[in-house]
Amino acid sequence: MNKRGINLIYGAVIFLILNAIFFGAMFAFVFRATNDASLHEQVLAKEIALLIDGAKPGTLISLNLENVQKFIEKNDISESEVVIVGGDKVNVKLTRGSGYSFMIFSDYKVDRTFVKKGDDLILNLQIMENDE
């Protein structure tokens, strides 16, 4: 038998197996990242923080939480836990973990309420002047 030819085949097979494992792991990571609640937590927290920072006192911000409602129902999270605006940060929680926090730079007081309109969950944020 030709040992040199067998060694070349083993090297090629190992190379192909390692490439398949690597690309499978990359595909799984990308698929998980696009469908994961943590991505939606980050996007929603940053979006709310930017809206609050850009608003003036007296502004009412309404956000439809239709795209994250499936995570709320799946993980059995109460509406009062989903979005918390306090101090200098916004915390969005769509899973049983601690959620995702993002800093707010304005010092406005924010009043939040949730309204059910049909099947949609609407988040209302009222921006007010800080009383301190």
**pLDDT higher than 70, residue 60:** yes
- Give the mean pLDDT of 120-125: 88
Tokens of 55: 């608003």
Return the pLDDT at 72: 84
Q: Would you place residue 77 in the very low, low, confident or very high pLDDT band (cuts 50, 70, 90)?
A: confident
Token pair 């836990």 in the structure block, residue: 81
Q: Which of 33-37, 71-75, 110-114 has the highest mean pLDDT?
A: 110-114
Instruction: Work out the mean pLDDT of the chain and round it to a whole number.
Output: 86
Q: Which amino acid is at 9?
A: I
Provide the pLDDT for residue 32. 67
**Torsion sign across C-alpha atoms 116, 117, 120, 122:** negative
Strands 100-103 and 60-64: unpaired
Give the pLDDT confidence of 19-53 residue by residue, as tens digits: 999 999 998 887 766 657 888 889 999 999 999 99
